[in-house]
Amino acid sequence: MSSQPAPQPQPIDKSAPAKLQRGPTKTRTEPQAKREGPTLDQVREHPRVKAFIRAANEQLGVVGYTEHGERHARTTADSARFILKSLGHDARRCELGAIAAYLHDIGNVITRDRHAQTGAIIAAEILRELRYTEDEVAGIMGAVGNHEGEEGGQPVSAVSAAVILADKSDVHRSRVRNPRTTSFDIHDRVNYAATAVNIRVDRREKLITLELTIDTAVSPLMEYFEIFLSRMVLCRRSAEYLHCSFALVINNTRLL
Ligand SMILES: [Fe+2]
Ligand SMILES: [Fe+2]
């Protein structure tokens, strides 16, 4: 199965000094994106978005999942916008990446199973109310619906690839909700072991790097790969869709 190549961003200015960008970072809506349509702010303030993300997070907590609330939505939105912006995509596409990323897990309000697909339908209804164009709604549905590899998701657009990379790189101890370290499962352990995470995008080198600091006293590296190898494969595919290579660096050692 071959996927369409991502639309090319603006050509790179070779005369400008090389800039290695780091993330996740606080990204902002560009004025140009605001002129071209509704923005992430309206989505975030929508009462249904607030209620559904809150309920989804609570429900996932009941069945033992890590944090999937507003913090995860905001972090993923920031990272997706950062990735697209760093690669030179236009302001509107960066904004759509942030919106798709903010909404990507909203389907968990129904059930974890197939939450990507249900999330795409829920997102579409909200976005139409906010008067997004049908083309934009379609792009966001594809990105939300394809964010989980376990549910058959694949990068299907630049926005979708950025959402996958942003989502899969949100690994951090702050996401663990289980207060008893003695009863951690492998997901709790791996997340708890991650004390720092960073995405680097080097547009010149066409390289997207996920840098992690893992406390191996909490979780051996093997456990990271045990649960995250398939996610890393999806990240590599997503980086390739964006015309980049993907690197994984853990504790200053490049592993992929
Ligand atoms: Fe998800
Ligand atoms: Fe997620």
Does some domain include residue 216? Answer: yes
The CATH number linked to 179 is 1.10.3210.10
Query: Cα of 151 to ligand 1 centre, how many Å?
Result: 9
Query: Cα of 106 to ligand 1 centre, how many Å?
Result: 8
Q: Is the pLDDT of residue 255 over 90?
A: no
Q: Is the pLDDT of residue 25 over 80?
A: no
| Burial degree of 19 (CB within 10 A; 0-12, 13-18, 19+) | exposed
Query: Cα of 236 to ligand 1 centre, how many Å?
Result: 18
**Which tokens sit at 189?**
């352990």
Does some domain include residue 19? Answer: no
Query: Cα of 244 to ligand 1 centre, how many Å?
Result: 23
pTM of the model: 0.89
Does some domain include residue 15? Answer: no
Q: Work out the mean pLDDT of the chain and round it to a whole number.
A: 89
Q: Predicted confidence band at 172 (pLDDT cuts at 50, 70, 90)?
A: confident
Q: Which residue has the higher pLDDT, 196 or 43?
A: 43
Q: Predicted confidence band at 241 (pLDDT cuts at 50, 70, 90)?
A: very high
Long-range contacts, stretch 215-220, CB < 8 angstroms, 24+ apart: 216/251, 218/189, 218/192, 218/193, 219/186, 219/189, 219/190, 219/192, 219/193
Does some domain include residue 7? Answer: no
**Which tokens sit at 253?**
């050692």
pLDDT in tens, 83-141: 999 999 999 999 999 999 999 999 999 999 999 999 999 999 999 999 999 999 999 99
Does some domain include residue 11? Answer: no
What is the span of the domain harbouring residue 205? 24-254
Does some domain include residue 229? Answer: yes
What residue has token string 């066409």? Answer: 206
Total tally of structural domains belonging to the chain: 1
Does some domain include residue 171? Answer: yes
Query: Cα of 79 to ligand 1 centre, how many Å?
Result: 15
Does some domain include residue 2? Answer: no
